[in-house]
Structure 1
Amino acid sequence: MTAASPQTSPNVTDISNATNDICRREILLGVAYCPVFLFGLLVNAAALWASIAKRASWTDTHIYILNLIATDSALLVFLPFRIYDAFSPLTKSVLCTYLINIHYSNMYASIYTFTAISVHRYLAVRFPMRAKSWRRKKVAAFVVCLAIWVTVVSLCLIFQENSPDKLQCCFERCKDQRLTFKFAVMLVCGGFLAPLLIIVFCTSQIIFILLKDTAKSEERKNTISIVTANMVVFIICFTPIHTRFAFHLFSEKSGTWLSEELYLSLSEWIASTNCCFDSVSYYFLLKRFYT
């Protein structure tokens, strides 16, 4: 009589396959975050040099640039930990909560700064004489940037959505710990849809006004190209992750074609690339088409 060969339980096999898939996904994400970190570091260093070292005096333009650099620098603090975690998982702790908050603070500070810059451009193009003669532009820019950070940090403190007890691992929530409805609505509507509508309105109005102007055709074309590029960058970077948040509001189950975890990881990576694409805004501001 021959001994019966041991059989692997289907549940054990499924768990093993899922674990391998997660490991492969994390390693690929770690590799993908590396160029974002390196290029973001290079772009921010160049922008900081161009905005500070080569300027004798500050303008409202430089205040907005420095705020963009600050938002990108917040992400650059987060990325090395995210890359390290992909290859050697961190233990979930208060540090993880802190790093997640840094990541999302960067994202929403960038969104609101983009919005402020769009409004600033629109007012400068719509009312050029008033914009040039207004003496408190620097004060206004400083107040706007300060308000952005106070708002973002306050929301992180009020909504404790990423405490260690809600995390499955350092950068991933437990499946049964869904975002509260109020918080998800705030992220989608206040954090994305409202800024998107403002940016689309301001950009379309700038293009419309400049197209009616027959003077300085080359400068006009450059300005239209850059404001359009800024709007496209905003949509590309921030639409996927907020689509995920919106889906989170109305669905209790994962998608059949792509897991929630994979889509969220990819959308977070796409959002993080804004620290590289911010160079479009740096270029626009430093060229000073509207100051």
Structure 2
Amino acid sequence: MENFTNYNINCSIDDSFKYNLYGAVYSVVFILGLITNCASLCVFCFRMKMHNETAIYMTNLAVSDLLFVFTLPFKIFYNFNRHWPFGDTLCKISGTAFLTNIYGSMLFLTCISVDRFLAIVYPFRSRTIRTRRNSAIVCAGVWILVLSGGISASLFSTTNKSTTSTTCFEGFSKNIWKTYLSKITMFIEVVGFLIPLLLNLTCSSLVLRTLRKPATLCQIGTNKEKVLKMIIVHIAIFVVCFVPYNSILFLYALVRSQAIANCAVERFARTMYPITLCIATTNCCFDPFVYYFTSKSFQKSFNINPLIKMDTLFKVDSSAKVAFPATQEELTEQININNGGDLIPESNFKD
């Protein structure tokens, strides 16, 4: 007990820099996120003629981003003024939107990664699984999961009033951290971060292994590099935005609940937590890059000649769901992977 008392007295930490940092970053994220995600959602809803499985996941990801972006003006006001005048209910909604965006984004990105893995590694066996109906069911499950976790954590994001100001989503007591928040945090870390991270890395590595096979190289031709770039963009966003934040959050929960009672560790965690959180919130600005590199229809909707073109060389018979090459010359030059989609065995191209 004496050690804990001395620890509390001697370990003074000033993390007030976070308010200006949050305010500045949230302002940029609000502007960029609002523009890019509104444009993306308009494309998905009004300009894309076909909504395949991947498009359904990307639409839900854009909705998750926008829900978070719409709460940012309140957070910007709060952090610049260090006062929350909007009431307890809006404080809870703001906290739920943040957690829903962070972990919803990771799960929807994972859905896209798994869908691409099934399309490339198991193109024929996955046909009965990769349907719009199943994609909608998966998205509904993701929403239920992230909203349940977000609401559970935000039950503690009540406003705390003092003589000079009102705070929101901070100032939790050590008792709350020990009894509730640390357990909720660990659950969210496992379900919302560790499992999606492992799935993303596993699916991407299996896709890369498939691309190294001689038969696969014969099928996709120069598109191998395009699929590789698609994977790099996807993994880069996941790793850069979410890995630092979740790694520090785990440590932050340990020091706040005093499972680790070390002043240097707590100082490090409380300094890095705001920085990594700001990096995590920028994911809603970068997600449109996933749409662009993953969906050919998304590129065409903007009438852009992209650096990476997913030119379709097949005419598809929708009733039979079998793709045929337009010409033998085009086939020799390049075989399309539609939206990171199905690979066609060489036997299909024989007369």
CA distance in 2, matches of 1:210, 1:39: 35
CA distance in 2, matches of 1:70, 1:244: 27
What does 1:1-291 align with in structure 2 at a 5 Å threshold?
22=16, 24-88=17-81, 89-91=83-85, 93-131=88-126, 133-134=127-128, 137-159=131-153, 161-164=155-158, 169-174=167-172, 176=174, 177-178=176-177, 180-212=181-213, 213-215=216-218, 216-247=220-251, 248-249=253-254, 250-255=259-264, 258=267, 260-287=269-296, 288-290=339-341
Q: 1:255 to 1:174 in 2, by over 3 A?
A: farther
TM-score calculated relative to the size of structure 2 = 0.70
Alignment size in residue pairs: 272
Identity %, equivalent residues: 27
Structure with bigger helix share is: 1
Where in structure 2 are there 5+ consecutive unaligned residues? 1-11, 297-338, 343-351
| Residues 1:229 and 1:115: Cα distance change in structure 2 (over 3 Å) | same
TM-score by length of 1: 0.83
Given the superposition, is the C-alpha separation of residues 255 and 96 from structure 1 closer, same or farther in structure 2, using an over 3 Å criterion? Answer: farther
Question: Relative CO higher for 1 or 2, CA cutoff 8 Å, sep ≥ 6?
Answer: 1
Contact 1:118-1:202 at 8 Å conserved across structures: yes
Change (3 A) 1:169 1:252: farther
**What RMSD, in angstroms, separates the aligned Cα atoms of the two structures?**
2.6
Structure 1 residue ranges (4+ consecutive) displaced by more than 3 angstroms after TM superposition: 133-136, 156-161, 165-168, 252-262
Which ranges in structure 1 are unaligned for 5 or more consecutive residues?
1-14
1:40/1:163 CA distance change after superposition, 3 Å: closer
1:173 is displaced (CA, Å) by: 3.2
What residue in structure 1 maps to residue 319 of structure 2? none
1:245, 1:232 → 2: CA distance? 20
CA-CA distance at 1:252 after TM superposition:
3.7
Q: Hey, what's the Cα distance between the residues in 1 that align with 2:134 and 2:35? A: 29
| CA offset digits 1:80-117 (Å, max 9, x no partner) | 11111122221462321220111101111111111111
**SS in structure 2 at match of 1:172:** coil
- 2:96·2:151 contact (CA, 8 Å) conserved in 1? no
Structure 1 pair 129/239, CA: closer, same or farther in 2 (3 Å)? same
